[in-house]
Amino acid sequence: MAAATYLDKLNDQQRAAVVFGTDGSALPPPLLVIAGAGSGKTAMLAHRVAHLLVKGADPRRILLMTFSRRAALELTRRVERITATAMGTPVVAEALRWSGTFHAIGARLLREHALAIGLHPDFSIHDREDSADLMNLCRHGLGLSRTDSRFPTKGTCLAIYSRAVNSGAPLTDVLRDHFPWCAPWADQLKPLFGAYVTAKQAQNVLDYDDLLLAWAQVMAAPDFAAHIGAAWDHVLIDEYQDTNRLQARILTALKPDGRGLTVVGDDAQSIYAFRAADVRNILDFPDTFLPRAEVIALERNYRSTQPIVAAANAVIAEASERYTKELWSERTSADKPRLVTVATEALQARYMVDRILQDREGGMRLKDQAVLFRTSSHAAQIEAELTRRNVPYVKFGGLKFLDSAHVKDLLSVLRLARNPRDRVAGFRVLQLIPGIGPTAAGRILDALDLTPNPRSAWEDVAPPPRAAAGWPAFVAAMTTNAVWPAAIGLARAWYDPHLDRIHEDAEARRADLLQLEQIATGYPSAEAFLTELTLDPPDATSDQAGVPLKDEDYLILSTIHSAKGQEWRSVHILNAVDGCIPSDLGTSSTHELEEERRLLYVAMTRAKDHLTLGLPLRFYVTRQTRNGDRHIYAMRTRFIPGAILDRFEAVTWSPAPVAGEVRPAPAPIDVAATMRAMWG
Ligand code: ATP
Ligand code: MG
C-alpha cells in the first residue's frame, strides 16, 4: 500500500506490532508490547491506532487509555499527524472521543449510565483533599480523634482505605504490609471506613477510587459488561505496568476474549506500587486470555545517546526482579551523564540554573530542558533560584492551581449548587458567609439533609441571625437556573466580595478566577468542567497565574512520577543521594527499595542528549532526624555503586568567589574529606 509510508519509518519489531492482527476481518488477538524506556512504545501505539483508522476502523469505537490527560492528548495529536499524511484528511482528536485516563473514562461512563446503575447523575467527584476532609468529618462523627491523639491522620486513613480498595486486599493485610504502625487501630478503622462509604452514598459523592471501583462493580454484571464492551472494537492502553488490579478487572470484563486489546508498558518502569499498581498485570497479561497474547519486545532506544542508555542499563541491571531486556542506541556521544557533587542544595540549584542558562545561550530552549525530583518539596531551592534569576518555569506534579484556596472556594460553590448534599463543599462555602462558623454550617447542612429536595430547600433553611445579611445573596447563587457557562460567572460574582475579606492579595486571586472562568467557557457543561479539573488539574507556574503564554519559553520542573513517558534534550535530577532516592521512607522493604531504583531509572531515561545528577552532601528532609536537625549528611545513592561509576563523569563543583562579594559563612562541612570518603 503506497499510502502506508508511515510504516517505513518504524523498525521491524515496531512494524510487526503496529500491523499485528489487522489484516483479517476479525478483531486482532490480544497484543502485549513490553519494552524498555525510549524504545518507541508510545510511538508504536500512535501508529497502531493510525493504522487501524487507515484500515477503516471507526474512531468512535476506539478506546485509548493512558496515565494522564496530557499523555492522552499527545497520543491523539500524534495519531492526527500520522493520519493526515496517510489519508490526506486527518482523523481529528475530537473523533477519537474515547481517549483519556482510566479515571476520566470511568467518570464519563458512570455519568452516562448513572440512572441505570443507581447513581444520581449529578454526583460530585472528590479530589484527594476533599476525600481526606470527608474522612475527617466521619472520624469526628465517630469520636475517634478524641480517643487517641496518635490515631492515624486523615491523610493516612485515606491512604489505607485507598490501598485496600485498589488492591482488593483485606484491611488487615494492607495494615500489616504497608501501614504496620497503624495496625493497632484496625478495630477503629473498620467502622470509620464503613462510615466513610455511607457518607459518600448519602452525599452523592464519588472519590477517585470509586471511579474505578464503581466501574469494576457494574462490569461484574454480565449484561452490563457486554453492553459497555460492545461500544468499542479496539481498546489500547499505554503505561500498562502502572495499572492496578481493579483496572485489570475492568479490562477483562470489557474484552473477555482479549480480542481488540493492545497493552504497552515496561515492567522496569513500574513506579506506582505505592498507589496499589501491580506489575503482575503486565507480567500475567500473556496468559490471561485464550488465545494467548502475542508478545513483542522492542530493544532499540531512539531517545537517548548510548552513554545515557549504558548508565541507565547499569542502574536497572542490579534490579532483583525483571523481564530482562538490553537496550541499545545508535546515537553516539562523548558526553557521559554527569554526577555533580556540591556542598548544599542551594549550590546544587545554582549549578543547575547556571548550566540551564548557559545551554539556553547555546541555543537550547528552556522547553527542551527539565529538572526532575523525588518529591515536590525538594524543588524549593531550585524554584527560589529560578525566581531570583527571572527564569520562567512550569511545575508538574506539585502544587496545583486547584490547591489554592480561592480556586477551591469557587469550584466548591459550583459543586454545591449542583449537589447540595456534598458536605465537604457545603462546609467550605457556608463558612465564607460572615456569621457562619463550623457549628452553624453543620446545623444548616443537617437541616438541608432532612428535606426531600435540597436544591430548592435552601430557601426554607433559616440561617443564624448573625448571617442574615449575607444569606439572600447566597441562596440566589445556589438556586440560579443560569445555563453553562453563565453559571460560573454568577458563582464568581457571588464569591468576589468575599475575596477582599479573606485574602490580602485579593487582586492576584481575582485574576486567577477570571482565568478559571475563561478556561470554563471551553467546556460544554459544568460536569465536564468540574470532572476534568478534579481529575487532571492544570499545573502551577512560576507566577501561580495559570499557564504561560503559548509561545513563551519556560523550563519544566517535574516530579519523576509525573515525568513518565516524556523526554527532554537535557535532564537534571535533583538529590541523587541516599535518603532521597531511595527516600528514607522507601527503604523498609525490598519491594519498596526496588521501586525506588526503578524511579531513578525512569528519571535517567527521560534524557535525550544530556543528563546531570546532583549530589548535595547536605540536604533538607521534611521529617525531623533524631537530633532534631532537619538536614542530613548524604551519600551518593546506593543505586550508583562504585562498580558502575565508570559510566558517569564525576565532577565536584563550588562557585568561584567573586571579588568583594560578601558570602554567608560556609556550611560547616569538610567537603574535601567527605568527597574522599565517597569517591575513594
Ligand atoms: P517510555 O518508556 O519512556 O514511555 P517509549 O518506549 O514510549 O518510552 P517513545 O516515547 O515512543 O518511547 O519514543 C522515544 C523517542 O524515540 C521519541 O522521540 C520518538 O519519536 C522516537 N522514535 C520512536 N520510534 C522511532 C523510529 N522508528 N524512528 C525514529 N525515532 C523513533
Ligand atoms: Mg511511552
pLDDT of residue 586: 54
Ligand 2 centroid from CA 279, angstroms: 16
5-109+214-298 and 405-535 in the same fold: no
Please give the average per-residue pLDDT across 14-19, as a whole number. 97
pLDDT above 80: residue 462: yes
pLDDT above 90: residue 643: yes
36 annotated to bind ligand: yes
Any idea where the domains of the chain sit in the sequence?
5-109+214-298, 124-203, 306-398+545-652, 405-535
pLDDT above 80: residue 541: no
Going by CA atoms, what residue is nearest to atom 20 of ligand 1? Answer: 43
Q: Which amino acid is at 127?
A: D
Going by CA atoms, what residue is nearest to atom 30 of ligand 1? Answer: 302
pLDDT of residue 660: 57
Please give the average per-residue pLDDT across 344-357, as a whole number. 95
Could you tell me which residue, 217 or 660, shows the higher pLDDT? 217
State which ligand 1 atom lies nearest to the alpha carbon of 606.
3
State which ligand 1 atom lies nearest to the alpha carbon of 239.
4
Q: Compute how many other C-beta atoms are within 10 angstroms of the C-beta atom of residue 569.
A: 15
pLDDT class of 375 with cuts at 50, 70, 90 = confident
Contact 212, 166 (CB under 8 A): yes
Please give the average per-residue pLDDT across 583-604, as a whole number. 84
For CA atoms 518, 521, 527, 533, the dihedral sign is: negative
pLDDT above 50: residue 552: yes
42 annotated to bind ligand: yes
> pLDDT digit string (tens) for 245-302?
999 999 999 999 999 999 999 999 999 988 888 999 999 999 999 888 999 999 999 9
Could you tell me which residue, 648 or 512, shows the higher pLDDT? 648
pLDDT of residue 543: 47
The CATH number of domain 5-109+214-298 is 3.40.50.300: yes
| Spatial separation of the C-alpha atoms in residues 278 and 36, rounded to whole Å | 18
Quote the mean pLDDT of the chain.
Answer: 87
pLDDT of residue 16: 97
Please give the average per-residue pLDDT across 419-440, as a whole number. 93
pLDDT of residue 678: 38
pLDDT above 50: residue 632: yes
Please give the average per-residue pLDDT across 63-91, as a whole number. 89
CATH T-level assignment (fold) for domain 306-398+545-652: Rossmann fold (3.40.50)
pLDDT of residue 452: 80
| Spatial separation of the C-alpha atoms in residues 561 and 640, rounded to whole Å | 20
- Which range is least confidently modeled, 112-121, 395-404, 447-456? 395-404
Q: What φ, ψ does residue 242 adopt, rounded to 5°?
A: -105, 25
pLDDT of residue 546: 39
88 annotated to bind ligand: no
pLDDT class of 631 with cuts at 50, 70, 90 = low
Ligand 1 centroid from CA 565, angstroms: 9
Please give the average per-residue pLDDT across 613-619, as a whole number. 89
pLDDT above 70: residue 620: no
| Spatial separation of the C-alpha atoms in residues 459 and 472, rounded to whole Å | 8
CATH code of the domain made up of 405-535: 1.10.486
Q: Compute how many other C-beta atoms are within 10 angstroms of the C-beta atom of residue 321.
A: 11
Ligand 2 centroid from CA 274, angstroms: 21
> Residue 445 half-sphere exposure, CB side, CA atoms within 13 Å?
24
Could you tell me which residue, 664 or 141, shows the higher pLDDT? 141
| Spatial separation of the C-alpha atoms in residues 329 and 15, rounded to whole Å | 18
pLDDT class of 658 with cuts at 50, 70, 90 = low
Please give the average per-residue pLDDT across 359-372, as a whole number. 96
Q: Which residues surround ligand 2, an ion (CB under 5 A)?
A: 41-42, 565
Going by CA atoms, what residue is nearest to atom 25 of ligand 1? Answer: 40
pLDDT above 80: residue 442: yes
Q: Compute how many other C-beta atoms are within 10 angstroms of the C-beta atom of residue 512.
A: 17
Here the contacts of 270-273 (C-beta below 8 Å, separation 24 or greater) are 270/241, 270/242, 270/595, 270/598, 271/242, 271/560, 271/561, 271/564, 271/595, 271/598, 271/599, 271/602, 272/242, 272/244, 272/561, 273/591, 273/592, 273/595
| Residue 265 beta carbon below 6 angstroms from any ligand 1 atom | no
pLDDT above 70: residue 538: no
pLDDT above 80: residue 622: no
pLDDT above 80: residue 123: yes
pLDDT of residue 449: 84
Identify the top-confidence range among 91-100, 157-166, 538-547, 578-587.
157-166
Ligand nearest to the CA of 300: 1
Going by CA atoms, what residue is nearest to atom 9 of ligand 1? Answer: 40
